[in-house]
Structure 1
Amino acid sequence: MTQRINGWQKAPHAIKALGGFPMYLAKSSLDSNLLHLIYFRVSQLNGCAYCLDMHAKDLRAAGESEQRLHMIAAWRDAPQYSAREKAALGYAEALTRVAENHLSDEVYSEALAHFSEAELIDLTIGIIAINSYNRLNIALPGEPGTYVPGQFAAIAH
């Protein structure tokens, strides 16, 4: 594989520009663990090693169980996830794979059944954010395994 530019080291201005997402979401009523679950699953779908490492560590630091982390790829059949979490995961997958299937009325309605309109907007922003970060980290990767839980918490405030 060709050596790539480390965006975290060489483009702090670009990282700062994306910092608007966590600042916005820090004011959201959405639970941060739910957002990290979404970030973790979307990062799996996108194959972003840096983000998988980051969000797994943040979830563990917040008390998330190893079982739920291991089962997230099969969330539809896993009883460890609430109906609300499943609605969010389905919505996140649909928006991440929008070019394949678009966003069905069924997935949208299920999400809206579990989230207020304001929460659904915030969830959408969270999904946009993680997809943006995934693409940055795939094109201009940081070094997977180097993240320390809470390392970027200051960006959110």
Structure 2
Amino acid sequence: MTKSRLNYVEAAPDAMKPMFALEESLSSLSIDAAMRELLKIRASQINGCAYCLNMHLPAARKAGVPQSKLDVLAGWRESPAFGARERAALTWCEALTRVEMTGADDHSFETLAAAFSAQEQVEITLIITTINAWNRIAVGFRSQHPVEAQDAA
């Protein structure tokens, strides 16, 4: 376990206001809460952000994502639990989250474009971009998620 580096909200509250406003704006998009949470969780898995996983897994359950689907999200490509639109969005999520490796490849974009309207493509991209920014903030500053006493090491 690593020690938290600093509390970024306390250190620069005015600088963080736009990030919080951006995050709040995501709830008004046409992409439903379950899909938003799946994207946030998948990007956070890739980025190794325990803080964000701790936040978005309960939010996904609250949005109606079954636990059985969350259990296999890391292996979604091999699971029959995910529909065509989820697969297209998750493909794009991985391409953008790993942009240094994928270059946001044409196949991933074409898969997204075949399943979603232009507006939805932008919204999904904004959701993915935002969670990647949050992951980098939380991982970079080693944000610590709450731990129940029985789960503490």
Structure 1 spans left out of the alignment, 5+ residues: 147-157
Is structure 2 residue 51 aligned with structure 1 residue 35? no
Query: How far apart are 1:32 and its partner, in Å?
Result: 1.4
Mark the CA change 1:3 to 1:121 in structure 2 (over 3 Å): closer, same or farther. closer
| 1-structure distance, mates of 2:51, 2:42 | 13
The residue identity in structure 1 corresponding to 2:29 is S
CA–CA separation in structure 2 for the residues paired with 1:45 and 1:8? 24
Contact 2:112 2:121 survives alignment (8 Å): yes
Alignment match, 1:72 = 73
Question: 1:125 — aligned with what?
Answer: 126
How far did residue 119 of structure 1 move? 0.5
Task: Identify the range of structure 1 (99-108 vs 57-66) with the bigger mean alpha-carbon deviation.
Answer: 57-66
Cα 1:2–1:59 change in 2 (3 A) is closer
1:142 matched to 2:105? The reply is: no
Higher RCO, 1 or 2 (CA under 8 Å, sep at least 6)?
1
Q: Is the 8 A contact 1:91 1:111 kept in 2?
A: yes
Tell me the TM-score normalized by structure 1.
Answer: 0.85
Question: Could you say which residue in structure 2 is the equivalent of 1:91?
Answer: 92
What letter is aligned with 1:126?
Answer: I
Can you list the C-alpha shifts for 1:95-133, whole angstroms capped at 9, x where unaligned? 010111211211111101111001100111111100000
Map of 1:4-83 to 2, 5 A cutoff? Answer: 4-83=5-84
Name whichever of 32-41 and 101-110 sits farther off. Answer: 101-110
Alignment: residue pair count: 146
Matched-pair contact (CA < 8 Å) for 1:50–1:143: yes
Q: Tell me, in whole angstroms, the C-alpha distance in 1 between the residues paired with 2:28 and 2:10.
A: 28
Please tell me whether the aligned partners of residues 76 and 86 of structure 1 are also in contact (alpha carbons under 8 angstroms): yes
Q: Give 1:145 deviation, angstroms.
A: 2.8
Tell me the distance in 2 between the aligned counterparts of 1:57 and 1:12: 26
What CA distance in whole angstroms lies between the structure 2 residues aligned with 1:143 and 1:13? 22
RMSD: 1.6
Q: TM-score, normalised by structure 2?
A: 0.88
Deviations 1:83-102 (A, max 9, x none): 10010000000001011121
C-alpha deviation, 1:2, in angstroms? 5.2
The 8 Å contact of residues 6 and 141 in structure 1, kept in 2 or not, is answered as no
Q: 1:14 to 1:142 in 2, by over 3 A?
A: farther
- Distance of aligned partners of 1:10 and 1:126 in 2 relative to their CA distance in 1, 3 Å threshold: same
